[in-house]
């Protein structure tokens, strides 16, 4: 009788082990959508949090995020010397990950606005002369308009 109880208890344990082995090891944590959202807001703090995470991607490997980027695609990454490359990388991150989550359409307007805000921050934060800052802001508007229409 003791053997029968052991055998009966062994079946559920074996079943649980089989289920655990069948579960995908790369399943994203439940808060992945919250993290994605927090890194794709229009604020400077969201941008800074994204850059910190991008610099430490290994800590986020379990989330299954797509970090790949072609930066500003077929447009210059640093037009006229304005460093737009990280703004483009964050925009790519948002596009790629919301597409993978099947939530792109609902988030595209915010992602494009986020991109524009990031570009304007580039223009505001480098101490450019008023003429150079105006050129930077003009390019920022051009990049934003392009992704809004074509992205």
Domain boundaries, the chain: 28-150
Q: Say if residue 142's pLDDT is above 60.
A: yes
The mean pLDDT value for 31-50 works out to 98
Assigned superfamily of 28-150: Phospholipase A2 domain (1.20.90.10)
Rounded-to-integer distance, Cα 95 and Cα 24, Å:
24
Rounded-to-integer distance, Cα 126 and Cα 120, Å:
11
91 is an active site residue: yes
Mean pLDDT for the chain overall: 87
pTM (whole model) above 0.85 = no
Q: Determine which one of 36, 41, 90, 91 is catalytic.
A: 91
Q: How far, in Å, are 22, 61, 106 from residue 32 at the CA level?
A: 21, 11, 17
């Amino acid at each position: 009788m003791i053997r029968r109880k052991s055998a009966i208890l062994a079946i559920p344990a074996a079943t649980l082990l089989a289920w655990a082995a069948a579960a995908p090891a790369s399943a994203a944590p439940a808060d992945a959508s919250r993290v994605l959202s927090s890194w794709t807001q229009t604020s400077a703090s969201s941008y800074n949090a994204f850059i910190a995470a991008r610099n430490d991607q290994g800590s986020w490997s379990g989330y299954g995020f797509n970090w790949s980027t072609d930066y500003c695609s077929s447009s210059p990454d640093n037009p006229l010397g304005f460093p737009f490359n990280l703004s483009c990388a964050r925009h790519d991150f948002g596009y790629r990950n919301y597409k993978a989550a099947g939530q792109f359409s609902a988030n595209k307007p915010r992602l494009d606005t986020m991109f524009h805000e990031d570009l304007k921050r580039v223009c505001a934060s480098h101490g450019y002369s008023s003429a150079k800052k105006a050129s930077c802001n003009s390019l920022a508007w051009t990049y934003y308009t392009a992704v809004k229409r074509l992205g």
